[in-house]
Amino acid sequence: MKADWETLHRARAGDESSWRDLWRLHLPRLKALAYLVTGSVPTSDDIARETLIRAIEARVRNENGSLEGFLGTIAYRLALKEVKRHDRNIDITGFDTTDKSDIPLESILKNEREKILAETIRDLDSEHGEALILRFYGELSYEEMAEILGVPIGTAKSRVFYAVQSCRKKMREKGLII
Amino acid sequence: MMHIDEDKLLQFALGIHDDALETEKIKLHLADCIECRTALVKIKDELDFMGSIRGDMPAHPIPLLHPRRRLFSALLRTAAMLAIGIFVGLGIARMEQAEPIYVIPAYIVPSPSTYSQSGHVVQEATYVRLNHVIIPAGK
């Protein structure tokens, strides 16, 4: 059993420090994933919290995959459900991605770059955006992606490839990369 | 020396190269070619940046409910729902069993004899109202 899964099991058994570890290690990424799918900061907050609570309560049949992928799948499904429930508009301005450890100026620049990056990812066409989010923020393997998207593994791989190509092109246009 | 195509380097970085022989060739080439290694590092940096957005952390995680406490609170919720259900059910049952209230209304009609004086007299009821239905008295 991998260390990550052990953390989940310990948290499930009531170990507070494992619960805090899960929050610290996974919450920011899950929140970013939920934000990229829904475009809503408060919703992404709720989804990230709900993901961890559901993970604690879920009966996991297969622990061969990674815990990151497991959590990513829950968060992605919750986010999709939320998108279907509310057709929300993008609200990039409210997203606080400030890294408290940075000095202020660097922090502001990083925050701005992250905002532009978030816009860029959300501007990708839906198939590419979905593939990129699942791979980079859900941390799903190609096999897990294929399952969740209902496509062959080869298709999942090619979607990620074209998504990354498209994202790199847009990033270059916006001056995020050289 | 021929350099590796950028798309191939990207596929290599993404781990989507299915051809094991091709992958091996790329690895061998990378070992000898500093230009391609540099290009690969640049691609990996870009990929890292692509996945770098992070939401802010709340100051404190929500408290972890111990499974036993969760079970207890679930039981408590069930009991409360049952109690509410029983009370509501009993209330509805009582309402259904309630006797109908008969009302014998007195209709106020203008009296022909006092009409000119704007006076009114109470005429004896000729209709009975039974649960919002008005039927002639005596039926």
DSSP for B97-138 reads HPPPPEE----EEE-TTTGGGT-EEEPPP-EEEETTEEEETT
Chain B's closest residue to A153, CA to CA, is B16
Residue A175: partners with Cβ closer than 8 Å, 6 or more residues away: none
Compute CA B54 distance to the chain's CA centroid, rounded to the nearest angstrom. Answer: 26
Q: Which of helix, strand or coil describes residue B4? A: coil
Interchain contact, A164 vs B56, CB within 8 Å: no
Distances (CA, A) of A112 to A1, A105, A107, A115, B44: 40, 11, 9, 5, 21
Residue A71 in contact with partner chain B when CB distance is under 8 A:
no
Q: Is A74 left (phi over 0), alpha (psi -120 to 50) or beta?
A: alpha
CA distance A6 to A148: 24
Q: What is the CA radius of gyration of chain B?
A: 44
The residue among A117, A130, A132, A123 whose CA lies nearest residue A165 is A132
Chain A's closest residue to B17, CA to CA, is A157
Residues of B in contact with A53 (CB under 8 A): 62
The answer to whether residue B63 scores a pLDDT higher than 60 is yes
pTM: 0.70
Distance, in angstroms, between A23 CA and closest chain B CA?
7
φ, ψ for residue B135, nearest 5 deg = -125, 155
Query: Residue B123 — pLDDT band, cuts 50, 70, 90?
Result: low
Half-sphere exposure of A21 (CA within 13 A, CB side): 16
Tally of CB atoms within 10 A around B108: 10
Tally of CB atoms within 10 A around A155: 16
Nearest-by-Cβ selection for A16 from B52, B64, B68: B64
Query: Residue A101 — pLDDT band, cuts 50, 70, 90?
Result: very low
Residues of B in contact with A99 (CB under 8 A): 54
Distances (CA, A) of A91 to A37, A42, B103: 12, 10, 63
Query: Residue B106 — pLDDT band, cuts 50, 70, 90?
Result: low
Instruction: Examine the predicted complex and report whether its ipTM is higher than 0.85.
Output: no
Q: What's the pLDDT at B99?
A: 64
The answer to whether residue B57 scores a pLDDT higher than 90 is no
Measure the N-to-C terminal CA separation of chain B; round to a whole number of Å: 112
Nearest-by-Cβ selection for B66 from A14, A99, A136: A14
**Which residues of A, range 72-91, sit inside 8 Å of B by Cβ?**
none
- Please name the residue that has the structure tokens 């995959």: A65
Distance, in angstroms, between A145 CA and closest chain B CA?
13
Half-sphere exposure of B41 (CA within 13 A, CB side): 7
Between A18 and B99, where is the model more confident? A18
Mean pLDDT of chain B: 78
Signed CA dihedral, B108, B113, B119, B122: sign only:
negative
Interchain contact, A32 vs B11, CB within 8 Å: no
Tally of CB atoms within 10 A around B11: 22
Compute CA B28 distance to the chain's CA centroid, rounded to the nearest angstrom. Answer: 55
Complete DSSP assignment for A17-36: HHHHHHHHHHHHHHHHHHHH
**Which residues of A, range 107-126, sit inside 8 Å of B by Cβ?**
114, 117-118, 121
Q: Name the burial class of residue B126, with classes exposed (0-12), middle (13-18) and buried (19+) by CB atoms within 10 angstroms of its CB.
A: exposed
Mean pLDDT of chain A: 86
Q: What's the pLDDT at A91?
A: 53
The answer to whether residue A82 scores a pLDDT higher than 50 is yes
Nearest-by-Cβ selection for B67 from A12, A30, A161: A12
Q: What's the pLDDT at A134?
A: 96
Query: Residue B75 — pLDDT band, cuts 50, 70, 90?
Result: confident
Chain A's closest residue to B63, CA to CA, is A16
What is the per-residue pLDDT across B5-50, written as a single tens digit (0 to 9) for each? 999 999 999 999 878 888 899 999 999 999 999 999 999 999 999 9
Q: Name the burial class of residue B95, with classes exposed (0-12), middle (13-18) and buried (19+) by CB atoms within 10 angstroms of its CB.
A: exposed
The residue among A138, A130, A141 whose CA lies nearest residue A163 is A130
φ, ψ for residue A35, nearest 5 deg = -65, -45
